[in-house]
Amino acid sequence: MDSKNNIHALKAGLPGNVTLIAVSKTQPVERIHEIYKLGHLSFGENKAQELMRKYEDLPKDIQWHMIGHLQTNKVKYIAPFVWLIHSVDSLKLLLEINKQGERFSRVIPVLLQLHIASEETKFGLSQAEAEDLIGNPVIPTLRHIQIKGLMGMATNTTDEQKIRKEFCGLRLFFEKLKQTSTISQVVMEVLSMGMSNDYRIALEEGSTMVRIGSAIFGGRTA
């Protein structure tokens, strides 16, 4: 499979306001560099240490997205350079990101990950938990994070209606938060939803950021 042709075709089919994240987890740096050379800068990884190693080995203008579950004790590896963390699912994690942001004198942009799928195994907050987190009185005091939107993964199913419903629910919640948030730490701009198998539905339901791995790089062995 030719990843260069794949990314060209994908980009040609995306609306102008939508960011394509090339999900490069498990791919060697050589394959990432091929895509980088085409002028593509947004890449996503799901493991903190793998992300750090790739950051070190690749050009420094790459915009790295952390899309996988992040343990508090691993935030320090990616805090100096990460472009956007998609997977914040607790106040504890947010506080650690803020602390590491302070240490490196930067504001770290994050998304809250919402649990929208029916599978038990997927991480993320319920809508009530996300509202509690955003409404926590500590949030306005955090000067080194900014909550820029939401991320969600739909159920892994061939039932399009089910996927559509899950994405639609996330978008409605995103819009509700956008209208009600009044603090500078919460600016709802990014709606990260859609992977190789369901990004077309996600786009129809209002996604602004798609995370695509296998449709660019081919299947993963790991």
- 134: contact with ligand PLP by CB under 6 A: no
Beta carbon nearer to ligand PLP, 142 or 210: 210
| Binding segment toward ligand PLP, per CB under 6 A, in 137-145, 164-172, 175-183, 193-201 | 193-201
DSSP per position, 186-219? EEEEEEEE--TTTHHHHHHTT-SEEEESHHHH--
86-120 in b/e burial notation, b at 16+ Cβ within 10 A?
Answer: bbbbbeebbbbbbbbbbeeeeebbbbbbbbbbeee
**Which residues fall within 8 angstroms of residue 155, CB to CB, at 6 or more apart?**
117, 118, 119, 162, 163, 166
Q: What is the Cα gyration radius of the chain?
A: 17
Beta carbon nearer to ligand PLP, 155 or 197: 197
Beta carbon nearer to ligand PLP, 125 or 139: 125
Using CB under 6 A, pick the residue from 74, 196, 200, 218 that binds ligand PLP. 196
Chain centroid offset of residue 151 CA: 6
- 19: contact with ligand PLP by CB under 6 A: no
Alpha carbon separation from 118 to 114, 147, 152 (Å, rounded): 12, 25, 12
Beta carbon nearer to ligand PLP, 52 or 215: 215
Beta carbon nearer to ligand PLP, 173 or 199: 199
CB 55 within 8 A of CB 30: no
Taking the complex as a whole, the smallest distance from the CB of residue 23 to ligand PLP amounts, in Å, to 4
- 213: contact with ligand PLP by CB under 6 A: yes
**Which residues between 46 and 75 bind ligand PLP (CB under 6 A)?**
46, 67-68
| Binding segment toward ligand PLP, per CB under 6 A, in 133-141, 170-178, 180-188, 205-213 | 205-213
Length of the chain in terms of residues written: 222
**Which residues between 27 and 46 bind ligand PLP (CB under 6 A)?**
46
Q: Are strands 186-193 and 145-152 parallel, antiparallel or unpaired?
A: parallel
Where along the sequence are the contacts to ligand PLP (CB under 6 A)?
A: 23, 25, 46, 67-68, 153, 195-197, 211-215
